Structure formats: C-alpha cells, structure tokens
Amino acid sequence: MNRHNVRYVVIGGIAAVLHGVPRATFDLDLLIDASPANAKALLDALLAAGLGTAALTTADDVLANEITVFKDRVRIDVQTSRPGLEFSDAWTHRVAMTYQDATFPVVSRGDLIAAKRAAGRPIDLEDVRLLELRDERG
C-alpha cells in the first residue's frame, strides 16, 4: 500500500497487538481516507498484492460502505468510518511501526482506546483495559 500511496492506518486487533495487548486476531482492519483517489489506490494496491477479491468491487462501492471485506489468503476489513475515530485525527496522530523491513502507519494508542471504547464490544473493552493498564505501568 505504501508503494501505491494509500492513506490508511492499521486499527483494530492488530493495532492492539502492536501496542502490546496479548491477544489473537484473524484479520487486518484498516481505516482509509475516504476519497475516490485513495479508494482507487487501495484497490490497485490490493490487486498488486494478489488479492483477487479487489477486482470484484469499485472505488465507489468501497466508499459507499462503512466496511468492505476482502478475503483471499488473508482477511482485510477496510473501513471508511469508525465510531470514535475520524480518519483525519488518526492520520495526524499515527505512529510508524516496522515489521519485517516494512514500515506502516498504525493508529496511536490514544486514538485506538477511543475507537475501541466507542465500539463497546466485550473484546474491545478488554483491549481498552489492557491498553490503559499498560499505560499505568509505563
């Protein structure tokens, strides 16, 4: 996605893990800048990465939905909006993390806590508890 200049941040369970929460997750959640050019760049990046399901939708379809699920070898949930989190804030506060020589933008700990608290599901509230506990311990 970086090669295609996609404006996105990693959110959800993977972001929680990257911020130190010990839990399993089976998908990658992304929050994207909900603009036509960015949605097109996202689809181009997914196709270049070999995710054929990206060919089954259009940029307009991605923008028309809060969540679009791409499921090939991996599951990627692309979100154009997220309760408790505006993309512009997530982009401004993002942190760069590196894994296997790839650097990517991840939602900040504070924005992650706000989004998970707004989601309100038991797993999200447990993540909030663990993220805040980690903050208290330093």
pLDDT tens track for 42-51: 999 999 999 9
- CA–CA separation, 108 and 95 (whole Å): 6
76 — pLDDT class (breaks 50, 70, 90): very high
What's the pLDDT tens digit per position in 26-40? 899 999 999 999 999
The set of long-range contacts for 62-68, using a CB threshold of 8 Å and a minimum separation of 24, is: 62/32, 63/34, 63/36, 63/39
Predicted confidence band at 9 (pLDDT cuts at 50, 70, 90)? very high
Q: What pTM did the predictor assign?
A: 0.93
Mean pLDDT of 93-112: 94
Q: Are 32 and 42 in contact (CB under 8 A)?
A: yes
